[in-house]
Structure 1
Amino acid sequence: MVEFKDLTLREGSQVPDLRISDEQGRRVIESLARLDVSCVELSFPRAQERAGWYRHADDLGLRTAALARATPGDVDAALAVDPDEVEIIITSSDVQLEHALGKSRDEARALLVENVRRVTGAGTTAGATLMDAMRADVDFLVECARAAVDAGAAHVTLADTTGAGTTDRVHTVVAAVGDAIGDDAAVAIHTHDDMGVATANATTGVTAGATRVDATIGGIGERAGNAPLEEVAVYLTERGDDLHLDVDELVPAAQSVHQTLDVDVSPDKPVIGDRAYKHESGLHTAAMLREPWTYMPFDPSTYGASNQLLFGEETGRGAVRALLESLDVDATDESVAVALEEIHDRAARADGPLSLEETRELLTDRFGTDA
């Protein structure tokens, strides 16, 4: 079973110029509740408390997480919002240890253990995130993961903080850590999209043994964003993985989050973009009228969406012939030519292509009520 931790609100708060109000946050949480995600990481309480979001998520039956650096002040701030779990983060790559944290490997590992224990000592579940894991020494990652689990961490998250990981590297790192901690704790994968492979890296992490995925709706996050939850969910579902997620609400819930946050969605964005299920090419529409699977990798209705066949300037004789046949109209060369002219004229007057329903109505009127 693959579980999702949604980080849309916490990561979204790090996006330049994206200001999320208390009310917007509550509405996003409501959309996430429709998906029944396993956990929602709502904030970094040392910077933004957002205690109201935690209580709202509690009321909706969602498990909550708060982020904390491996310092007592951060941990205490996180515990103060009463989350179900606190995620302790520590960097693991030498470049970040030296230039961001100013600590040695041994010092970083000790801080991680100390603060995992601080969380569990307060009676709260602890998770451990190893930042910049894809640029870290694998032996050191294994040492940190084992130490965190021995200190009481329920899971270890391997974060590709800079989006530098390749699928080969992700598989190597996740498999190595998974082997080291065995069944003592879960492994989670957290990816960024700086090189356009966040979805591929997240799903590779699952292939290598991760049972939890950190993701955000639409990939919302700093720089190039995070792994888009909806893309990872569709990919895993289509290949047969068992998910703890209500995928039938995936598209409408994800679109609702973007509308709430007033974040634009690129029309060609997979799964949730406006053009994701639209087809106007004559070759495509002709085939899809006969078999919808012809030019789709999955059934959109599984995820709360639907195909949209469009008819206009790009429509050709093959598509019109298939459409006439579906209306029980004799698709002679003459009727196809007439229908094609009607479609082109109407689309030109409408300043855009017609939907399948509009085109069916147009042709039914043109060729008689028996159609």
Structure 2
Amino acid sequence: MNLTDVTLREGDQMPGRSFTADEKIESAHALDDLGIPYIQPGFPVTGEKDQRVVSELAGTTDADIVALARALESDIDVALDTDADVVEIFVSASDKHLEHLLGMSRAEMLSMLGEAVDYIRAHDRPAHVTLADAFRTNHDQLCEIIATVPDAEFISLADSVGVRTPATVRQYLERLDGYINFDRLGVHFHDDMGCATANALTAYYAGVGKVDASIAGLGERAGNSALEEVIVACSIEHGDNLGIDSSKLVPICRSVLDTLGEEYGQSKAVLGAAIAEHESGIHTAAMLSDPATLESFDPELFGGQRRLVFGKPTGESSARHLLQRAGIDPDAETVTAYLDALAAKGPLDLEEALLLAEREHGE
């Protein structure tokens, strides 16, 4: 499965955000270093900033740079002028969106879509298609749209309002089996009901060829499928790192968020420092014995770092482990004295706690 990173385009559309061209370009190069196959940094017709971003990135990355466009020749011309590797067009698929967003009939949309893909292909550029609100579009209508664009490299189904759950995503995809080669099928999820990453993983299990995702789920409203969560889940459960350099995942995702001025919580899955921090006496004792006891994955696999904290909550078992690791006999008197020292000097990390043991109780 391929990943398209949409952090720079989706994140820039959030209310109150306006990433600079330089921020987007720096972030895209970091994502390229991670090994993301497709990066969608902007929507060129929206203005000079995104035109510059796509133009300056095109031809400088291993990733294919994707320019977003509506299914209009005027939009496509601007995207083509940036020399983007791929032009991705989007149209509304559902009756609700056709009526209230585009104000056109289904026949008009199909004609516009087919002509747009042909236009891109005539300019020797790959065409990707995203079908907005596809997961609220009935099966026969989806099949009709898919049949209209046989030359599109990817056709992505978008859950534009985040209304689907893994069960309904699976049902939608199962019904499309036989109507499209799943290697050409993509998905794009929003997180309004908290299901975007789970939905992306459901699509992965179904065998889709491409998933859109963004770092920390950045995107409009509740955001999108979280890039780092999708990568870690596939890597841990299936041994599939999706072609990504796993060892760089956490530091690069954090650096991109820093570049963009975006914050993330310390308890944020995968990225937050707190997910690999342990202080409870029972927990630290187990972690000193076998870290897998209380961790779903070794954070160092993805460039993160485990942090054990010792101080007042530290229990006797942890104290004994620490003293033994420092080469000190953990008799009852020494353990009690060491616990008093930890309570007075803590909180300490593992290295500091070992130094304290050597200083207080070493020969």
TM-score, normalised via structure 1 length: 0.93
Once residues 341 and 242 of structure 1 are traced to their aligned partners in structure 2, the CA distance between those partners, rounded to angstroms, is: 45
* C-alpha contact 1:120 1:126 (8 A) present in aligned 2: yes
Once residues 257 and 92 of structure 1 are traced to their aligned partners in structure 2, the CA distance between those partners, rounded to angstroms, is: 33
What displacement does 1:290 show?
Answer: 1.0
Once residues 94 and 176 of structure 1 are traced to their aligned partners in structure 2, the CA distance between those partners, rounded to angstroms, is: 19
Q: Indicate the residue corresponding to 1:90 in structure 2.
A: 91
Query: Residue type of the partner of 1:310?
Result: V
How is 1:46-61 mapped onto 2 (pairs within 5 angstroms)? Answer: 46-49=45-48, 50-54=50-54, 55-56=56-57, 58-61=59-62
Q: Indicate the residue corresponding to 2:216 in structure 1.
A: 218
* C-alpha contact 2:31 2:252 (8 A) present in aligned 1: yes
After TM superposition, the structure 1 stretch with the greater mean CA deviation from structure 2, 260-269 or 138-147, is 138-147
Q: Indicate the residue corresponding to 1:14 in structure 2.
A: 13
Q: Indicate the residue corresponding to 2:361 in structure 1.
A: 367
Once residues 178 and 130 of structure 1 are traced to their aligned partners in structure 2, the CA distance between those partners, rounded to angstroms, is: 17
Query: Residue type of the partner of 1:187?
Result: L
Q: Indicate the residue corresponding to 1:254 in structure 2.
A: 253
* C-alpha contact 1:286 1:323 (8 A) present in aligned 2: no
Once residues 217 and 300 of structure 1 are traced to their aligned partners in structure 2, the CA distance between those partners, rounded to angstroms, is: 17
| Identity within the alignment, % | 38
Query: Residue type of the partner of 2:19?
Result: I
Cα RMSD for the two superposed structures: 1.5
Q: Deviations over 1:90-113 (max 9, x none)?
A: 111221111111122222222211
* C-alpha contact 1:42 1:53 (8 A) present in aligned 2: yes
Matched, 1:357 2:351: yes
How is 1:248-287 mapped onto 2 (pairs within 5 angstroms)? Answer: 248-287=247-286
Residue 59 of structure 1 aligns to a residue in which SS?
A: coil
Query: Residue type of the partner of 2:184?
Result: A
What displacement does 1:265 show?
Answer: 0.7
Q: Indicate the residue corresponding to 1:331 in structure 2.
A: 330
What displacement does 1:201 show?
Answer: 0.5
Gaps of 5+ in 2: none
Residue 249 of structure 1 aligns to a residue in which SS?
A: helix
What displacement does 1:242 show?
Answer: 5.1
Residue 163 of structure 2 aligns to a residue in which SS?
A: coil
How is 1:236-255 mapped onto 2 (pairs within 5 angstroms)? Answer: 236-240=234-238, 241=240, 243-255=242-254
* C-alpha contact 1:5 1:215 (8 A) present in aligned 2: yes
Once residues 176 and 33 of structure 2 are traced to their aligned partners in structure 1, the CA distance between those partners, rounded to angstroms, is: 33
Once residues 279 and 208 of structure 1 are traced to their aligned partners in structure 2, the CA distance between those partners, rounded to angstroms, is: 36
* C-alpha contact 1:191 1:226 (8 A) present in aligned 2: yes
Q: Indicate the residue corresponding to 2:315 in structure 1.
A: 316
What displacement does 1:57 show?
Answer: 5.0
Once residues 220 and 164 of structure 1 are traced to their aligned partners in structure 2, the CA distance between those partners, rounded to angstroms, is: 18
Q: Indicate the residue corresponding to 2:124 in structure 1.
A: 123
What displacement does 1:182 show?
Answer: 2.0
What displacement does 1:262 show?
Answer: 1.0
Count residues with an aligned counterpart: 360
Once residues 227 and 275 of structure 1 are traced to their aligned partners in structure 2, the CA distance between those partners, rounded to angstroms, is: 21
Once residues 277 and 77 of structure 1 are traced to their aligned partners in structure 2, the CA distance between those partners, rounded to angstroms, is: 46
Once residues 111 and 244 of structure 1 are traced to their aligned partners in structure 2, the CA distance between those partners, rounded to angstroms, is: 35
What displacement does 1:178 show?
Answer: 4.5
Q: Indicate the residue corresponding to 1:350 in structure 2.
A: none
* C-alpha contact 1:41 1:67 (8 A) present in aligned 2: yes
Structure 1's 18 and 250: CA in aligned 2 closer, same or farther, altered over 3 A?
same
Structure 1's 220 and 332: CA in aligned 2 closer, same or farther, altered over 3 A?
same
Query: Residue type of the partner of 1:138?
Result: H
Structure 1's 57 and 119: CA in aligned 2 closer, same or farther, altered over 3 A?
closer
* C-alpha contact 1:29 1:57 (8 A) present in aligned 2: no
Query: Residue type of the partner of 1:346?
Result: K
Once residues 217 and 96 of structure 1 are traced to their aligned partners in structure 2, the CA distance between those partners, rounded to angstroms, is: 27
Q: Indicate the residue corresponding to 2:110 in structure 1.
A: 109
Q: Indicate the residue corresponding to 1:195 in structure 2.
A: 193
Q: Indicate the residue corresponding to 1:305 in structure 2.
A: 304
Residue 311 of structure 1 aligns to a residue in which SS?
A: coil
Once residues 297 and 333 of structure 1 are traced to their aligned partners in structure 2, the CA distance between those partners, rounded to angstroms, is: 34
Once residues 171 and 100 of structure 1 are traced to their aligned partners in structure 2, the CA distance between those partners, rounded to angstroms, is: 27
Residue 100 of structure 2 aligns to a residue in which SS?
A: helix
Once residues 90 and 298 of structure 1 are traced to their aligned partners in structure 2, the CA distance between those partners, rounded to angstroms, is: 40
* C-alpha contact 1:145 1:177 (8 A) present in aligned 2: no
* C-alpha contact 1:178 1:210 (8 A) present in aligned 2: no
Query: Residue type of the partner of 2:134?
Result: A
* C-alpha contact 2:37 2:62 (8 A) present in aligned 1: no
* C-alpha contact 2:249 2:302 (8 A) present in aligned 1: yes
Structure 1's 16 and 360: CA in aligned 2 closer, same or farther, altered over 3 A?
same
Q: Indicate the residue corresponding to 2:162 in structure 1.
A: 163
Q: Deviations over 1:147-180 (max 9, x none)?
A: 22x2x10011111111111101111223333431
* C-alpha contact 2:169 2:199 (8 A) present in aligned 1: yes
* C-alpha contact 2:41 2:53 (8 A) present in aligned 1: yes
Once residues 178 and 284 of structure 2 are traced to their aligned partners in structure 1, the CA distance between those partners, rounded to angstroms, is: 49
